[in-house]
């Protein structure tokens, strides 16, 4: 980050000083009485309604100016969109003093400055709905010029696409690339649709701790910190699962949380160290019920965002019409490799990985080897929504054993466009079995697996009081948003994705 001022930045600071000399506060404190927004004006104004638009007040950022001498056309951008304004010298300066137009508007204001205008709406000779300005107020002087973006007839020809700029300076990205805002508006609609769906069925939204003494509920490397007052190590949560299941023990039937989770791992197009997961847990249900609810929810989201269950993702059309395909993890591997690995132990799995040129290491147990086999051979081929079901017990330390298939658990992962979007179980509620599974995880940690789980003794104590049969799920909100808004990278659906710190250059 450079503290050196460019020529344009110096000029804008000089203009700010000139405004101050004229007695104009470029950063005024009083409320500005906005009455309308750009898109509503353009949508609502016509010959029949023009009387309703005789006294309009809007505020926004100057995005372009077309100077015609004693009058100017300019484009103002507010939080909803853009509106053309018509500024005439004698209208905003009805007396002898023409400085507000000749000096302030034409010389001291720049692209990016924020102004407020009052006037009436009319239609130009070219048919464009515009605001005829009668009063103009300076609201904010912009000291840094925006990147230049060329537009014609509503089309952008050179939108700024540099990721370094877009992700690090999201505030500027949102100004000059209005379509970016639409992604985040849709993200909010998606989350609100989920909330409405869950609330309608009686689910209760809750909050659970972000700082935890034991990072439980998932297999991942945590961020660590220290609590000074208690003088104990603490971890940022990698999942909220164990706390939500404590609430099921406590008597809630259905709880959910939009959880900010933190995993001290790599970054790529589908991973950010800080991310959002929706998790919910429902008593007296199983993973079959959860599959039905999940596919119905995703169908509802697609319709809310697009009006259809067909969603364009890159060059593909993904159908979110329920029901979704269901296939076991072993059958998926066999379908894509021709090899049945369902009866193989660790050595046999290593041999298959070697045969398929899949790199593995000595820290990997049976579960991770199967996970690697599926990831490398089958995951990318799950384009349409597919429930991968019935995982080996070694891969799922928090999942109930399968009711009819020895060595498996009642778990599914929802794969869409080659990526995992959701993970769900019939939850393990046998405290003795759970303790044994935790101890197996400790053995993996001793072998060098730094993603293996800790033993959470308090959670075991909670299970000993009795947790009813329960089904739970985690849905990756960021990945789901990528799919629903056709974005290729997780950074495109996070307002402020993780970036390397900027170096300060004096």
In a domain, 364, yes or no: no
Shared-domain flag, residues 14 and 138: yes
Shared-domain flag, residues 132 and 184: no
Q: What is the mean pLDDT of each run of 10 residues along the chain (506 residues)?
A: 85 98 97 98 96 98 96 97 97 96 97 98 97 98 88 58 90 92 97 98 97 86 95 95 96 98 91 96 97 98 98 97 97 95 93 93 87 94 97 85 92 96 94 90 79 85 97 96 96 94 72
Say if residue 229 is exposed, middle or buried (CB neighbours under 10 Å; 0-12, 13-18, 19+).
exposed
- Predicted local confidence at residue 29, as pLDDT: 96
First to last CA, the chain: 9
Under 8 Å CB-to-CB from 222, ≥6 apart: which residues? 215, 235, 236, 237, 238, 262, 263, 264
433: domain CATH number is 3.30.930.10
Shared-domain flag, residues 281 and 422: yes
Residue 113's domain comprises 7-146
- Tell which residue, 222, 214, 272, has the closest CA to residue 450: 222
Which residues make up each annotated binding site for Mg(2+)?
413, 420
Shared-domain flag, residues 206 and 89: no
DSSP H helical ranges for 54-177: 89-92, 99, 163-168, 170-176
In a domain, 226, yes or no: yes
Shared-domain flag, residues 186 and 112: no
- Tell which residue, 268, 153, 242, 260, has the closest CA to residue 428: 242
In a domain, 331, yes or no: no
In a domain, 360, yes or no: no
Structural domain tally of the chain? Answer: 2
Q: What is the DSSP string of 134-154?
A: EEEEEEE---SPPPP--EETT
- Predicted local confidence at residue 344, as pLDDT: 93
Greatest alpha-carbon pair distance for the chain in Å reads 93
Shared-domain flag, residues 63 and 125: yes
**Which among 120, 146, 172 is the end of a domain?**
146
**Which among 124, 146, 168 is the end of a domain?**
146
Shared-domain flag, residues 41 and 99: yes
Distance CA 76, CA 71 (A): 16
Angle between the 287-306 and 477-485 helix axes, to the nearest 10 degrees?
40
Shared-domain flag, residues 116 and 190: no
Which residues make up each annotated binding site?
413, 420
In a domain, 378, yes or no: no
- Predicted local confidence at residue 453, as pLDDT: 76
38: domain CATH number is 2.40.50.140
pTM reported for the whole predicted model: 0.89
- Tens of pLDDT, residue by residue over 3-49, are 789 999 999 999 999 999 999 999 999 999 999 999 999 999 999 99
In a domain, 136, yes or no: yes
DSSP strands (E only) in 213-368: 224-227, 232-236, 254-262, 274-283, 310-313, 316-319, 325-328
**Which among 102, 128, 146 is the end of a domain?**
146
Distance CA 313, CA 299 (A): 15
Beta carbons of 239 and 261 less than 8 angstroms apart: yes
């Amino acid at each position: 980050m450079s503290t050196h001022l460019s020529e344009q930045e110096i000029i804008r600071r000089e203009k700010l000083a000139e405004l101050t000399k004229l007695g104009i506060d470029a950063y005024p404190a009083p409320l500005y009485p906005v009455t309308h927004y750009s898109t509503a004006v353009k949508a609502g104004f016509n010959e029949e309604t023009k009387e309703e638009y005789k006294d309009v007040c809007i505020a926004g950022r100057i995005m372009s100016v077309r100077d015609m001498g004693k009058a100017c056309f300019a484009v103002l951008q507010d939080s909803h969109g853009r509106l053309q304004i018509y500024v005439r010298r004698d209208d905003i300066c009805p007396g002898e003093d023409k400085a507000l137009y000749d000096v302030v508007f034409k010389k001291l204001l720049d692209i990016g400055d924020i102004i407020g205008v009052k006037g009436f709406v009319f239609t130009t000779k070219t048919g464009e709905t515009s605001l005829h300005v009668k009063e103009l107020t300076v609201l904010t002087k912009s000291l840094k010029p925006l990147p230049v973006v060329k537009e014609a007839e509503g089309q952008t020809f050179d939108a700024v696409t540099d990721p370094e700029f877009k992700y690090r300076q999201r505030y500027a990205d949102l100004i000059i690339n209005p379509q970016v805002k639409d992604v985040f508006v849709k993200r909010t609609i998606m989350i609100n649709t989920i909330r409405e769906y869950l609330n309608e069925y009686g689910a209760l939204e809750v909050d659970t701790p972000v700082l935890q003494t034991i990072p439980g509920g998932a297999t991942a490397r945590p961020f660590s910190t220290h609590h000074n007052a208690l003088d104990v190590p603490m971890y940022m949560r990698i999942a909220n699962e164990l706390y939500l299941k404590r609430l099921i023990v406590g008597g809630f039937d259905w709880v959910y949380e939009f959880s900010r989770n933190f995993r001290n791992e790599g970054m790529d197009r589908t991973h950010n160290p800080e991310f959002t997961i929706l998790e919910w847990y429902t008593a007296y249900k199983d993973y079959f019920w959860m599959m039905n609810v999940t596919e119905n929810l995703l169908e509802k989201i697609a319709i809310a965002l697009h009006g259809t269950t067909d969603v364009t993702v890159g060059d593909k059309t993904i159908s979110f019409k329920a029901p979704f395909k269901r296939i076991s993890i072993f059958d998926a591997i066999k379908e894509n490799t021709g090899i049945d690995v369902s009866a193989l132990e660790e050595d046999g799995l290593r041999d298959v990985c070697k045969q398929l040129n899949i790199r593995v290491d000595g820290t990997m147990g049976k579960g991770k080897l199967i996970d690697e086999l599926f990831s490398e051979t089958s995951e990318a081929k799950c384009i349409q929504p597919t429930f991968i079901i019935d995982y080996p017990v070694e891969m799922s330390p928090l999942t109930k054993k399968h009711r009819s298939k020895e060595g498996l658990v009642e778990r599914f992962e929802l794969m869409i466009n080659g990526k995992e979007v959701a993970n769900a179980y019939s939850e393990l509620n046998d405290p003795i079995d759970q303790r044994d599974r935790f101890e197996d995880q400790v053995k993996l940690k001793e072998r060098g697996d730094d993603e293996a789980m800790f033993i959470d003794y308090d959670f075991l104590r909670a299970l000993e009081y009795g947790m009813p049969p329960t089904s739970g799920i985690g849905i990756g909100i960021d990945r789901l948003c990528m799919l629903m808004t056709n974005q290729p990278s997780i950074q495109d659906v996070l307002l402020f994705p993780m970036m390397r710190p900027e170096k300060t250059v004096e």
